Amino acid sequence: MNVRSYRDLKVWQSAMQLTERVYRMTDGFPARETYGLTSQVRRAAVSVPSNIAEGHARDSTKEYLRFLSVAQGSLAELETQVELSKRLGFATEMDTMDVLNNSAEIGRMLAGLQKSLTEKLAPGSSPLVPSP
């Protein structure tokens, strides 16, 4: 597959689906949490595809890797907040497991992309260049 845009990336597409799922889940949170946990969970979710997109648009692979690292951090933040939401009784077990499973899969995809980009940066990593 030829990646011309961040929109072509499966990890970005999956992160967008996760974000939609999180928004639907948080619609049921108590009104008193609108500016608290609801906002926090949504911002963490939105941060994931946003950082993937911004990193892809940067001028260097090193910058891209930095933004992918931020996306990984946002995933961990999201997972923590979703777990707290369940503990507080705001999210169902099924919603929680769905979000956490999707988040874990996105984390694996991000790790794979990071590994691929890191190998691209490593000297002599190209199969066309013989090792010394």
pLDDT of residue 20: 98
pLDDT beneath 70: ranges in the chain: 1, 123-132
pLDDT at residue 120, rounded to an integer: 84
79 φ, ψ (degrees, to nearest 5): -60, -40
- Report pLDDT for 96: 97
CA angle (52 as vertex; 26, 101 as ends), nearest 5: 45
Q: What is the pTM of this model?
A: 0.89
CB 45 within 8 A of CB 19: yes
Per-residue pLDDT tens over the stretch 102-127: 999 999 999 999 999 999 887 655 44
Residue 81: the pLDDT is 98
- Name all domains of the chain by residue range, CATH numbers in brackets: 31-118 (1.20.1440.60)
